[in-house]
Structure 1
Amino acid sequence: MSGWIASGWLRRWLAPRWQHPDPEIRRQAAFKLAPGKPTDQRALERLAGDRDAGVRQAALSRLTDPRPLLAWLDTDSNTPELRRRLGELLCGRDGDLPLTERLPLVADLDDAELLETLAFEGDNQQLRLAALARLDDESRLIRQACDNGIAGVRRAAAERVTSEAGLTRLAREAKRDKQVARRARKALAARRADAAQARQAQAERERLLHALEQQAQAPWEPLYAGRLRHLQREWESLQAPSTPAQESRYQEACLRCRKTLSDHEAHHQAHRAASQRQADADQTRQELVEALEESLTALQCSELITAQDIDSLRSQKHLLASRWQALSDQHAPDATLRQRYDQVLAGYDAISQAWEGLQPRAEALEQALATRDAAALARALDDCDWPERLPPTPLLKRARAALTQAEETQAGQRPSVAWLDEELDELQQLLERGAFKGASRLHQSLRQHLDGVSGEAYAASLARFRRLAAKLAELRDWRGFVAGPKRDQLCQAIEALADDTQLGDRELDHQHRRLIKEWKELGSAAATRELAERFRGASDRIHARLGPWKAARQAERQRNLEAREALCEQLEALLAHPDPAADPDALREIRDRAREQWLQHSPVPREQAERVGRRFGRIRHELQGLIDHRAQEIASAKRELIESARRLLGDGAPIDRRTAEAKRLQQRWRALGRAPKGEEQMLWREFRGLCDQLFAHREAERDDRARRSQARLETMQALIDRLDAWQPQTSDDAATLDQAIAEAEALAPLPSGRRSEGMRRRWSGIVRARRERLLRLAVSEEVARWQALRPLLEAHLTADAEALGSGSPTEVPDPGPMEGDMHRAHERRNAARRHPATPQDVEEQLIRLRVHLALLAGEPVGQQDEPLRLAIQVERLNEGLGRELSRAEEIHGLLRELLATGPVPAALWEREVQELDSLLARLLHLPPP
């Protein structure tokens, strides 16, 4: 153990003095170390981190290079000796480091406290400015601007103070440099002017935003686009930048305005397109009707009506009907054009019926012409019943001419040369066309008329007749030469067809009809009995084979005819009693399904096809008219709904009521059905646009209501916080509480919610607490005023004692200004000594006052005073029926009566005064009732 002690002592004795345990010895050793030696330098560096402040200061004072000290400062910034030594070295107060080396070190320095020291104490203005440039704290800059000893540094620091609070402080504290104070005041004024200008610009932007948002909610009118451009130009002309929220509101309002403009433009374009389509449809219908009218007029003005004319007229009519129906499905025609259409269809039907009535009688006319039977010809012409206003067909013309000629022949007249020339021209045309059968019949008729005719007047006609007869003979020979092999070929083909059992009935019938048609086209050319019998026999076999199929097809056609007629009857019954509230969509569905059923029930017997077809066409036309009529009624009803929606848009009623009415209008719109096709979309866009504007107004009003509610909540919250921070000091502060309550009532009702409920509870608690404090203050003030009247009371007690002792009452003089009722109580006390009451009455009055005070203070009373307490309580209840008095008012009244009660014996007062004082002290600490 002793060896260890000796060893420790030896180590301490041999160790360097800078490592000695005694701080004083280490401090002295630090002064003896030479910084130029590496070992001493390391020792000084270790001592610079010593735990003793004196040692640290001594070691740092020996170090003259600030670079390692700056490195230590980054790791240990809480050493005041290190920061102080760095200040000495960098400021130039110690050491021999030149300014050129110190400036880069200061430029890299981040310690604000050291930089502030350098800015204040640097030995050079450039060094101070370099340190000042590294300072960012405005409070330090203000100290430099106010207290720095160099004017350039003060002004450089003042230039970097930019906040309003900093400029205000600088203008107030810069007593040393008037230029700095003047510059601060000037900068502060400029900043405030800029702030005022910015506020004005923001207010202008808010005004423009409000105008733009109102414009976005407004309906379109002719000046809408111009007003929008004007507001946009005003917005762009403002110099102050807008906030992100303002820019977002601006872009949103512009988008809504552009949507209104685009919706109106789309509506206008749709309306214009619909009008153009309507005009195009009317123009097309008018052109079709005019074309058919011109065809009918041209047909009536022509000399003859041929089958080609009828076919052309029929094709034109079918085209008109299909195009009319297609256009009517899109746009309803006007009444005038529909009347023209009905008239032209009636004209066509008259010509078509006349033509159809002529076809079954054409064979009788030809036979009568061939036999030159005038009576049969006259009967056939009468049966045709051809309208007088229509030009005749070629057959009717020949029949009429033949009848006229026959009548002239019977009258002994010879045929006229002109008539013969017309007939010969007809014969020549037939021969040129190769119409052998017609040419043969006309040739036979002319030969009968020319029998026995002679003379120079008929010489040319007879010669021409002979030349045409020769051409007819050549045509007959040629037909015979060509028709012989053709007839043989047709016989072979029909026999092969009759023996073919693979063909279906439909194909067999088609081939059979084709062969019969080709056989008939050959006429009488190369006709032999053998070939005719062969062809007829094969045809009969085919007829026998097709008999069941034809019977089934005829039955099917009859069923289809019956179905079509039943369909027509159903539609006619519908048209005879139309539902005035029928839905056009349902009628359109009936029309389309009727068309599908009509096409399904096909074919029908040929002789009834035209008749039932005209009947169905007329029904379809009437049904389309009914659809158009109902669609127009719906369009009119929807226009009324649009006007109602437009009136709602401009109405001043509450927006919720108007939007509810708009929803009812939408329900009525859906219940009405569809207007005409092109008009429905146009009407719907207009109606939807008006409803969208209404709902946009509702949303805007809801947002505005929510903002107002939020503003009321924030105002109420501020009022609650203000009242919560306020404490009344006197009872007169009740006016402040009443004003706050009035402000809260003006903000009512608050929007429903948990926050509002919490605010109400907090407000009620704060108001209750403030009322309680005001009541306590009122009671305290009453007690304090009573304490101020104690000298007066003591004077009255002294006067009472003198009056009761000597019997000569004395007057207590007026003590000075006091409340009116207290002054009257003072006078009553003086009067009571002049006319004293009995001691029992005075005692009872004092006891009553004491019991009343005990009741107010909530203190118990003696058993003997309990009846009096109950009586007083009943009196209080009865008096409170009109207006309940506050505790302060009751105390004031009791103290007033206490002052007025007298004369009071000294012994009685000594007995009661202590309890009265204790009751008053108790009242000071009681909460209000």
Structure 2
Amino acid sequence: MAAFFQKLFKSRKPAAPDRKTHIPEQPKADPETDKRAELREEQLQKLEANPDQNVAASLAVEGLTADIRIRAVNILQDESVLQRVHKQAKGRDKGVYQVARQKLQDIREEQARQQSIADTITMLTRHAREQAKSDDTKLYGARLEALLKQWAEVEPHATPDQLSAFLESIHHCRERLSGMEAAQAAEAQLQEQKRQREETLDVISRTLEDLRRQPVDSVASLDALQKTQENRWLEATRDTQVEKTHQKAYETSMMALRNYINAVRQLNQLQESLQSVSAVTYQDATPDDRARAEALVKEINWPEGFPVPESLQSVRKLAGKPKTPPRNSEDQKQQQATADNLKTILSQLEEALEANQLRQSRQLLKTAQQHFRALDQRHGKAFQSRIQLLTGQLRELTDWQGFATEPKQIALCEQMEYLAEQPMEPEAKSERIKELQKEWRDLGGSSNRALWTRFKQASDKAYEPCKAYFKAKSGLKQANLEKRKAICAELEHFLNAADWTAIEWKAVERILQTARQEWKEAWPIEFRENRQVQKQFDSLLRQLEAPIDQERQRNEALKQEIVEQAEALIEHEPLQEAMDKAKALQADWESVGITRHREDRKLWQAFRKACDAIFARRDARRSEQQQATKEADSEATALLQDATAVSYDQDEQSLTQAIASLNSVNTSLLSAPMKEKVQQEKQRLEQAVAEQQLKAGIRKWQSLVLARTEGDIQPDALPDKWTQLSAETSELDDQEIVIRAEILAGIASPDADKEKRMEIQVRRLTEGMGTSDKEEDALQSVEGLVAGWCVKADESGADPMLASRLNTALDNLTAD
């Protein structure tokens, strides 16, 4: 069949003669050319062309000049190449050897530096993780700052994962530090409130003691003191638990002070009435005068235990026996309890005096005197002589201790004087001064006024250089206070001006973080002055955090929905649709705004797990498909081997069976190369079947052509379509039919028919048949000629020579 196509459509044009190309003769090379100069120029051009490492290494070893070799070795950067050049240049080229050695040393130093940085990053990351979990809170902030300072030096070299791990640990550290600072501030505030309460009780107690010794006629100062202490107590008890004994002591003392103030106020207001009543003598007083005096005494209601003013004494005398209200059982119990406590304290004082414990004795005596003053005359009389005795013993112990401790106190004076002359860091110097002063106090002080003055002057002189420092520190505290006030003002302005319906939440988070950081950096600061500013800052932070928390919760809910949607896609079919939706969900995830770090991490892990499960299904199916393809290719390979063993010349049944075996292969599972091989083999076999069918048909045609030479052919022996095909050639005689067949078969006609053949060819060209290049048209034309030959009715039969020529043409159609 292939040969038929080639013969049928081969070009009739003669091939053009080969033209020889004239190659001009090259001029002979000049034997005088300087080969060395050419080689040097070639090597320089290679260097200027930015050669690769191997070319540069070759030039560094084999370069023509020292300059070329040095330039080439300077280009080298790869360590292995440098090592090779270094080894080859040893003993051959000292310059190249030294440059290579130096570059190798630089590379190793850089590698060591990079390794050191990597080790430092690993160490700092581990320390940050350990710091976040450590229970050691001593100097926690200082250790954290030192860690951050070290990290700042290596941070540019850290990978994103290392940076993320370090920052996460630092975040936990800062949270712990904030908690510790808040706890310390709260504890300091509680201690300050406790101190304020104790001082309030002490002020009121001393005021009442002074009033019992010396009466006061003006209430202005007392009224101011009362209000001041009431406010002070109110602030000292705000948001904290107060001991019941302290609260009761305050209420009792403040009630006594109020009663005294009210009595003095009434006394001043009724001064005219008092004078008019006091002008009446006891003997001349009428019942009305006595009633008026009694009414005045009752209205003034002078508290018990305080000296009675002279203007009131005469009125009380006129009113009769003073109506001293009997002490109630509660007062009696209080007096008895005080007396019992005093007895215990005096026993402890005696023991302390016997043990020569001066400092403790002084404190116990002071406490005993306070209790003694709280007793009335009846209860206190029994302790008066004992207290006087113990006071004398304490005075003697003080004198004796002074004699024993004087050398130590002199030594402390000398140490303080030496310290005053030493240049030291103010903080350390101040701490040392406090230590010496504490040692002085532990010795119980000194009765030697000159020695105390010496120590005091040395202390003042030593502290003098520290004053400027602490003054500057005080200025720094004030500046930090102003900074914190400015931060509060900026936060308040932002909160008032913010449009929460269209705000950039990440920017709000940055503002919150920046405010906290700047607030922390504004340190040190005066605690008392900072209290109100701290309250304002905390309030503003709560106002700022509230919408941020709401937005975070809203975004976390959105991400939770995305997670749930992703989890629903794990078993979704079709798989491609599930993967497309998962990718869309990943884009949705990126578009969600701010969230809490810990919650976001949990949600991301869940979302990532769901996405991994979805794409794991794809990988599993792809693996299954690859396995199926591998098995199908293996099966197809075996069938191909069988099919390729079937040749063109085998019978049609063998070819058909081979085609059927290839058709049984599921080509959808085959790989692309194997599918192409199967298709090519099927085409080869189908072409072979077609050729065999064509040959069988031609042989049948030839038998019919010969049958006409013997007489008429029965119509039922001819194909049905030949009647229609013969209509086109009915006008052709046998000779022309044969010549046309010879033309189509591409064989020569006898010399006698050459003129006839030329005429036919010209006619075919005129009819547009001579340029046909379609196989179907050629076959149809040949079959039409054979049909025209066989359908003709001729009793005498056709010319055997012409029949032979026609069959020869048909043989040529099927020739290989």
Instruction: Name the TM-score, length of structure 2 as normaliser.
Output: 0.51
Q: Does residue 1:652 correspond to 2:506, yes or no?
A: no
- 2:710 is aligned to 794
Preserved contact between residue 648 and residue 658 of structure 1 (Cα < 8 Å): yes
Correspondence for 1:400 among 254, 257, 262? 254
Query: Is contact 2:739-2:757 (8 Å) kept?
Result: yes
Task: Decide whether aligned partners of structure 1 residues 619 and 667 sit closer, same or farther in structure 2, where only a CA change above 3 A counts.
Answer: same
Q: Note the C-alpha offset of 1:675.
A: 7.6
Q: Tell me the residue number matched to 2:811.
A: 924
What is the one-letter code of the residue matched to 1:497?
A: M
Residue 210 (structure 2) aligns with: 371
Shift of 1:480: 3.8
1:699 maps to 619
* Cα deviation digits, residues 709-760 of structure 1 (max 9, x gap): 334444544554444416577789997688678667x62695334x665665
Corresponding position of 1:821? 720
The alpha carbon displacement at 1:513 in A equals 3.4
* 1:650-729 mapped onto 2 (5 Å cutoff): 650-655=571-576, 658=578, 686-724=606-644, 725=646, 727=648
CA drift of 1:497 comes to 0.7
Structure-2 separation of matches of 1:825 and 1:409: 150
Aligned residue in 2 for 1:477: 395
- Alpha-carbon separation, structure 2, partners of 1:652 and 1:897: 66
The answer to whether structure 1 residue 858 and structure 2 residue 746 are counterparts is yes
For 1:367 and 1:673, the matched residues in 2 are separated by 63
Q: 1:568 to 1:557 in 2, by over 3 A?
A: same
Amino acid at match of 2:227: D
Work out the CA distance in 1 between the residues paired with 2:530 and 2:511: 25
Deviation track 1:224-251 (CA, whole Å, cap 9, x = no partner) reads xxxxxxxxxxxxxxxxxxxxxxxxxxxx
Mapped to 1, the partners of 2:659 and 2:761 lie a distance apart of 35
Do residues 544 (structure 1) and 464 (structure 2) align? yes
Deviation at 1:362, TM superposition (A): 6.6
1:469 is displaced (CA, Å) by 4.3
How far the C-alpha of 1:382 sits from its partner, in A, is 1.4
Shift of 1:668: 7.3
Identify if the C-alpha distance between structure 1 residues 528 and 842 changes in structure 2 by more than 3 Å, giving closer, same or farther.
closer
C-alpha distance in 2, partners of 1:795/1:751? 60
1:674 deviates by: 11
Out of 758, 773, 787, the position equivalent to 1:896 is: 787
Partner SS state of residue 412, structure 2: helix
Q: Deviations over 1:861-911 (max 9, x none)?
A: 634454544655787969999x985766554543333233345777xx54x
Q: Give the partner amino acid of 2:695.
A: R
SS in 2 for 1:795: coil
Residue 463 (structure 2) pairs with residue 510 (structure 1): no
RMSD value, Cα: 6.0
Distance 2:198 2:690 in 1: 117
Task: Label 1:405 to 1:473 Cα distance change in 2 as closer, same or farther (>3 A).
Answer: farther
Counterpart for residue 412 of structure 2:
493
1:783 aligned to 2:783? Answer: no
Give the direction of change, closer, same or farther, for the CA distance of 1:879–1:893 in structure 2 (3 Å limit).
farther
Map of 2:734 onto structure 1:
846
Match of 2:304 in 1: 414
CA–CA distance in 2 between the matches of 1:728 and 1:584?
A: 87
Cα offset for 1:707?
A: 3.1
Structure 2 vs 1, CA of residues 440 and 544 (structure 1 numbering), >3 Å: closer, same or farther?
same
Partner residue, 2:384: 466
Looking at structure 1, the residues matched to 367 and 715 of structure 2 have their Cα atoms a distance apart, in angstroms, of 159
Aligned 8 A contact 1:564 1:612 in 2 = yes
One of 525, 531, 551 as aligned partner of 1:604: 525
Contact 2:478–2:525 under 8 Å retained in 1: yes
> Aligned in 2, Cα 1:556/1:844: closer, same or farther, shift over 3 Å?
closer
Structure 1: which amino acid aligns with 2:207? Answer: A
CA distance in 2, matches of 1:870, 1:749: 56
Give the secondary structure class of the aligned counterpart of 1:594. helix
Alpha-carbon distance in structure 2 between the residues aligned to 1:604 and 1:594: 15
What is the CA–CA distance in structure 2 between the aligned matches of 1:749 and 1:867, rounded to whole Å? Answer: 59
Q: Could you tell which deviates more after superposition, 569-578 or 490-499?
A: 569-578
Go from structure 1 to structure 2 and tell me whether the alpha carbon gap of 1:378 and 1:469 turns closer, same or farther (over 3 Å shift). farther
* CA apart distance, 1:795: 3.2
Partners of 1:569 and 1:430 in 2: CA distance: 55
Which of structures 1 and 2 has the bigger CA Rg? 1
Post-superposition shift, 1:769?
4.1
Residues 436 and 472 in structure 1, CA contact (< 8 A), matched pair in contact too: no
The 3 A distance-change label for structure 1 pair 740 and 613 is same
Q: Shift of residue 781 of structure 1? A: 2.8
Greater relative contact order, per chain length (Cα 8 Å cut-off, separation 6+): 2
Q: Is 2:741–2:785's contact at 8 Å kept on the other side of the alignment?
A: yes
- Tell me the amino acid that sits aligned with residue 552 of structure 1: A
Contact 1:821–1:896, Cα closer than 8 Å, also in 2 = no
Which residue is 1:771 aligned to? 690
Structure 1 segments unaligned to the other structure (5+ residues): 1-280, 282-324, 334-341, 451-457, 797-813, 830-840
Per the alignment, in what secondary structure is the counterpart of residue 368 of structure 1? helix
**Cα pair 2:570 2:613 within 8 Å, conserved:** yes
Equivalent positions of 1:105-504 (< 5 A) are 355=194, 358=197, 364-365=203-204, 368-372=207-211, 375=219, 376-384=221-229, 385=231, 386-387=233-234, 392=246, 396-397=250-251, 399-400=253-254, 402-403=256-257, 406=260, 411-415=301-305, 416=327, 417-418=331-332, 420-421=335-336, 424=339, 443=369, 459=378, 461-464=379-382, 466=384, 469-470=387-388, 473=391, 477=395, 480-481=398-399, 484-485=402-403, 490=409, 493-494=412-413, 496-500=415-419, 501-502=421-422, 504=424
Partners of 2:342 and 2:368 within 8 A in 1: yes
CA distance in 1, matches of 2:616, 2:447: 92
SS of the residue corresponding to residue 794 of structure 1 reads coil
Rounded to whole Å, the distance in 2 between the matches of 1:629 and 1:548 is 50
Query: Compared with structure 1, are the counterparts of its residues 570 and 739 closer, same or farther at alpha carbon in structure 2 (3 Å cutoff)?
Result: farther
CA shift at 1:470, angstroms?
3.8
CA distance in 2, matches of 1:528, 1:423: 36
CA distance in 1 between counterparts of 2:485 and 2:344 reads 45
Query: What is the CA distance between 1:845 and its match in structure 2?
Result: 3.9
List runs of 5+ in structure 2 lacking aligned partners. Answer: 1-132, 134-170, 265-300, 306-326, 350-359
Preserved contact between residue 263 and residue 302 of structure 2 (Cα < 8 Å): yes
Aligned residues: 543
Tell me: CA distance 1:693–1:784, structure 2 relative to 1, closer, same or farther (3 Å): farther
Q: Write out per-residue CA displacement over residues 236-290 of structure 1, whole angstroms, 9 at most, x where no aligned residue.
A: xxxxxxxxxxxxxxxxxxxxxxxxxxxxxxxxxxxxxxxxxxxxx9xxxxxxxxx
CA contact 2:741–2:782 (8 Å) conserved in 1: yes
Amino acid at match of 1:699: D
Please state whether the residue corresponding to 2:710 is helix, strand or coil.
helix
Give the match's secondary structure for 2:569.
helix
**Between the two proteins, what is the percent identity of the paired residues?**
17
Alignment partners' CA distance in 1, 2:344 and 2:423: 42
Report the secondary structure of 1:604's partner residue: coil
Could you say if the C-alpha distance between residues 637 and 498 of structure 1 is closer, same or farther in structure 2, counting changes exceeding 3 Å?
farther
